[in-house]
Amino acid sequence: MDELNRAWQDRRADPEGALQAARQVAATAASDGDDLLLGRALTVEGACLVACNEYEAGLRALLAALPRLQDAAPPALAMALAEVGHVECVLGDPSSGLDHLLEALALSEQIGDRAGAAATLNRIGIAFLALGELDDARRSFERCLALHEHLDDGVAEAGARNNLAKVATRQGDHGAALDHLAAARRGFEAAAEPRGVAMTDHNTALVHVATGDAAAARPLLEHAIDGYLAAGHPHGAVEARTDFARLLDPDEPERALAMFELAHTEAERLALPRECAAAAEALADLHRQRDEPTTALAWLLHLRQVERQLFDQTSDRRLRALQVRHQLEQLQRDSVTDMLTGLLNRRGLERVLEQAALRRRSADEPVSVVLLDIDDFKLVNDRLSHAVGDEVLRRLGTVLRETVRPEDVCARLGGEEFVVVLAGCELAGAHRVADDLRGAIAGSDHWAALDPALQVTVSVGVAALGTGPGVSEMLAPADRALYAAKDAGKNQVVS
């Protein structure tokens, strides 16, 4: 695990070395049948591939990681979801990317991981920006900036300001954009982050382009191209070259042509279909202006091919993402469901109780719990067999589902104990519900079908939800009431 953590830390400084380390861990985990470790290793492998500009391969590894991380600690799943969302946005599918990023943010906020939440908010802002949802993008970046200021992360603060500048530029607030970019550049320079400096130069140039100052934009774009290449970020260099070539087009068409062709070649090499399409469209226009219809038509045909490829790849990625989402949902259902009764298991009950406790604190909503225990269940197993005992448990679960209200939650706590959570229900009402359940179970015709002599009753404890941090603590008052019902002769309700 330490080796995997080091690989994650090194994924940007030494992506090739980190990739090899992650793959070695993945191979060992696969050989040992350790699916959880394999999921973590695939996450690091995918992130390293992305750092090596191998986006499609990175996304495949990340999507393979997600189902394996369903039972992992929330930070591991949040990390994988955030990486998937980021790559989907880079590859031109911000809608799917946003879905994964919002899941990652919810997990990070759930466990109080402010650094993880801040990094994910930054990526969410980028997704909103790609979708043209500028106000949502601005709010995401502002929340990200506030978190990073609290965490005292200067580089991340600079990144958030750089992105806020993009929003301001799109909204026409060029003064605010330049202020954000100046602050961002200072932050990146102080941290010796050449890629960040290149980004701020690039985005400052785009502000000047928006205000019609091409003369100020050109040297900044040249600096940005050099900075991206020096920092090992060819994707940024492709975008900067395309922007620079657009400025050259009217005055230096030959140089613009060469720049667009280089951008197209690099975009193809990096498998960046959006950037490839942008360069192809510009080249078709240039050749049309030069009265070279045959070459212009060739580029237009290539553009159509790239756009079709982009559509196919996006559709394929969405299909894979849907398949993974289905797997995740199935695993999630399985992880919180008791396989015998179909009710929630203890893990699922814990989540419901935590949510109920939160609502009680925030909205002053009463929450009552009903704890049921089958009377003399051991005798059923001993006299009629464990198979009949299992069927009793299964059919009791059915009686509970059929008797309670749709908004009530039923769970099997373990063994022959069951719980019903009644949100918004005072103790007196919960007692009536519990007695209805007791009567429905005792009077059910399910039991005679299993054995003519079989009778099933339950003892029931009713109480307000306890205030402790875990399932046992939250059910403790109901548990005490249940023991009182047993001591009083069974087949009755005590509250």
Task: Identify which has the larger pLDDT, 438 or 90.
Answer: 438
User: Rounded mean pLDDT of 291-308?
Assistant: 87
Classified by CATH at the fold level, domain 346-494 comes out as: Alpha-Beta Plaits (3.30.70)
pTM, 2 dp: 0.55
Percent of the chain, pLDDT > 70? 93
CA–CA distances in Å: residue 219 to residues 146, 224, 225, 241: 32, 9, 10, 12
pLDDT recorded at residue 361: 73
Is the model's pLDDT at 332 over the cut of 60? no
How far is Cα 75 from Cα 57, in angstroms, rounded to an integer? 23
pLDDT recorded at residue 345: 85
Q: CB burial class (10 A; 0-12, 13-18, 19+) of residue 364? A: exposed
Question: Which positions ≥6 away from 155 have C-beta within 8 Å?
Answer: 187, 188, 191, 193, 196
How far is Cα 447 from Cα 322, in angstroms, rounded to an integer? 43
User: Rounded mean pLDDT of 24-39?
Assistant: 88
For the chain, the distance separating the N- and C-terminal CA atoms, rounded to the nearest angstrom, is: 49
CA–CA distances in Å: residue 287 to residues 256, 276, 279, 299, 314: 11, 17, 12, 9, 29
Is the model's pLDDT at 336 over the cut of 60? yes
Task: Identify which has the larger pLDDT, 288 or 2.
Answer: 288
pLDDT recorded at residue 316: 59
Q: What is the DSSP letter of 337?
A: B
Is the model's pLDDT at 37 over the cut of 80? yes
pLDDT recorded at residue 467: 79
Please give the biggest Cα pair distance in the chain. 99
How far is Cα 69 from Cα 328, in angstroms, rounded to an integer? 9
Q: Tell me, yes or no, if the two domains 2-241 and 242-336 fold the same way.
A: yes
**In contact, 482 and 373? CB cutoff 8 Å:** yes
Write out pLDDT tens, residues 114-134.
888 999 999 999 999 989 999
Is the model's pLDDT at 323 over the cut of 60? no
pLDDT recorded at residue 191: 92
Residue 107's nearest CA partner among 83, 128, 81 is 81
User: Rounded mean pLDDT of 51-63?
Assistant: 87
The domain covering 2-241 belongs, at the CATH homologous superfamily level, to Tetratricopeptide repeat domain (1.25.40.10)
Which numeric CATH code is attached to 242-336? Answer: 1.25.40
Output the six-digit token pair for 26. 């993945």
At 331, the pLDDT band (50, 70, 90 cuts) reads very low
Q: Where are the domains of the chain?
A: 2-241, 242-336, 346-494
Is the model's pLDDT at 470 over the cut of 80? no
Question: Which positions ≥6 away from 192 have C-beta within 8 Å?
Answer: none
Task: Identify which has the larger pLDDT, 307 or 384.
Answer: 384
Is the model's pLDDT at 326 over the cut of 60? no
At 328, the pLDDT band (50, 70, 90 cuts) reads very low
